[in-house]
A and B are shown apart, each in its own frame.
Chain A
Amino acid sequence: MNIFVLTDEKTHPLKAAVNLLLLTAFIVLIFWFSLSRIGVTFHFAFLYPLRGRLLQGFLMTLYLSLASLLVSLIFGLLSAVMQSSKVLFFRYFSKLYVTFIRGTPLIMQIYLFYYIVGTAFGIENRFICGVFILSIFEGAYIAEIIRGSLLSIDGSQLEAAKAVGFTKKQTIIHVILPQLFARTLPALTGQLASIIKDSSLLSIIAVIELTQTIREITATNFKLFECYLFLGVLYLCLTLPVTFISQTLERRFNYEN
């Protein structure tokens, strides 16, 4: 039995452990080699007195992301519904929204929305503004996820539903929604990981989330490498569980299908 090559459907835990260990050693070695070449040593102890600020930033990122997920879900749903609407105004509106948002960088949208739209409508609170901007951005992607799932539901199912005498409402509740749910939920959870990462860009309008906290800290102590390495670890603490949940959901719903 070869311990390095995938042979069966199921990987033996020992085999997995050996290979994962090998991979870790490989990464550590490359990293250690790079560090010794540039002659930098790391000391993370200075982070400890800063734990209060770091925790605050961490929580801020978490709140920002969760609030944005909720609001962007509403935007995404609205947009998906509007895109299949018979009223042309709604249909074009939604299409324009998705095209514009997906075709421009987030950093541009943040500056434009915050300094022009935000100021014009008197939204002073940076957190609220940040949630709005991020939700508008992510909403466009969520709209596409939902639209894609809707399109993937076979038209013959609707005919079948009609044939067995389902009303329109029954068709939606018993046929469309369960499948929509199964198809979008894994992708939506995955989108949460994107939201968490994208929220870091809100640091440019001084929302004091995790990235901004680290920027402020490095500006005074110049420990760029330690700070940003630690930042990576903190973001992984948020995104890894989310990715794991997303993959689990995907497997589960695949099985059911």
Chain B
Amino acid sequence: MKRMLSILLIGVMLTGLLSMTGCTSSETLEEITVAMELAYPPFEMKDDAGNPAGISVDFAKAFGVYIGKEVIIQNTAWDGLIPSLQTGKVDFVISSMTIRDDRKEQVDFSDPYANALLAILANKNSEIKTIDDLNQAGKKVAVKTGSTGFLYAQDNLKNAEIISLPDESACITEVTQGKADGFLYDQLTIYRNNQENPDTTTAIFIPFQNVEYWGVAVQKGNTELLNQLNEFIAKFTAEGGFDELSQKYLSEEKEAFDTLGFKWFFDLEE
């Protein structure tokens, strides 16, 4: 009895010691912060418990493991992403952000890790067949403020009325209610929301612009981090990291994209 007790005691002390060393080792791990807008499932989102989840989250964490730092995720509104880099509030941004020349003037981008195309979610009654049908006087186009759809509409849909809203769900509501004739966003979001609202919407997947490449953004001049990111992206892609993430988060959609003949997000070949 006495022996058992002492064994138990040693056991407890050992686990205590182990967990203590565990604590100290994670405390000494250097932190690196990434900003993303957790409002774009399944790339950036929150799980039911409210923790960050999604492809970009796993991607960022894998990068943390690669460089031996602990990744802290900061949920930041889209408008605030680039400013948070500029002011050094965060180290990098992974938020399905398209590499664009105007953004390059503010921040530096890594090599592309994914690509996407815009599509149109149209109201069923507005008889939109192509992007040109939207570019007419009296047509209303819903876009998310600051998204590539917003920028495309501002540059190319001069005849239409542009309704820019702060979030995706409001844009979709505008279309399903017929307040807007169409919503410009990436193919995946359009596909999913068309599936959810088959009675009120139609999806138009005819490409009307060049492929958009997504990159990781860092503060201007932070070449050290940028090089690490580029190395990691090459390695992660080669090792099939993105295929695993597709399988984990988007297996159904991947099948649908294949049947529709769309290019997959992580298929970067021309």
Contact = CB atoms under 8 A, between A and B. Distances in A.
A222 to B, nearest CB: 5
B39 to A, nearest CB: 14
A109 interface: no
Interface string B133-175: 0000000000001100011001000000001111000100100
Contact of B164 (A38, A39, A206, A224): A206
Interface in A119-171: 119, 124
16 contacts: A39-B88, A40-B87, A111-B170, A115-B173, A115-B177, A203-B166, A204-B166, A205-B165, A206-B163, A206-B164, A206-B165, A212-B164, A219-B79, A219-B150, A222-B83, A224-B83
B61 interface: no
B148 to A, nearest CB: 11
A219 B145 contact: yes
Given A40-B87, A119-B179, A219 B170 contact: no
A91 to B, nearest CB: 35
A83 to B, nearest CB: 35
Contacts of B170: 111, 204-205
Contact of B145 (A119, A215, A225): A215
B107 to A, nearest CB: 9
A219 B162 CA distance: 14
A39 B80 CA distance: 17
B103 interface: yes
Which range contains the number of B residues in contact with the other chain? 20 to 34
B126 interface: no
Interface in B66-118: 79-80, 82-83, 86-88, 102-103, 106
Interface of A: 38-40, 111, 115, 119, 124, 203-206, 212, 215-216, 218-222, 224-225
B78 to A, nearest CB: 8
A112 to B, nearest CB: 12
Contacts of B79: 215, 218-219, 224
Contacts of B103: 222
Contacts of A220: 102, 146, 151, 154
Given A39-B87, A119-B177, A204-B165, 13 more contacts: A38-B87, A40-B86, A111-B170, A115-B173, A115-B177, A119-B179, A203-B166, A215-B164, A215-B166, A219-B164, A220-B151, A222-B83, A222-B106
A219 B144 CA distance: 10
Contact of A216 (B106, B164, B177, B179): B164
A38 to B, nearest CB: 5
Given A204-B166, A222-B103, A216 B82 contact: no
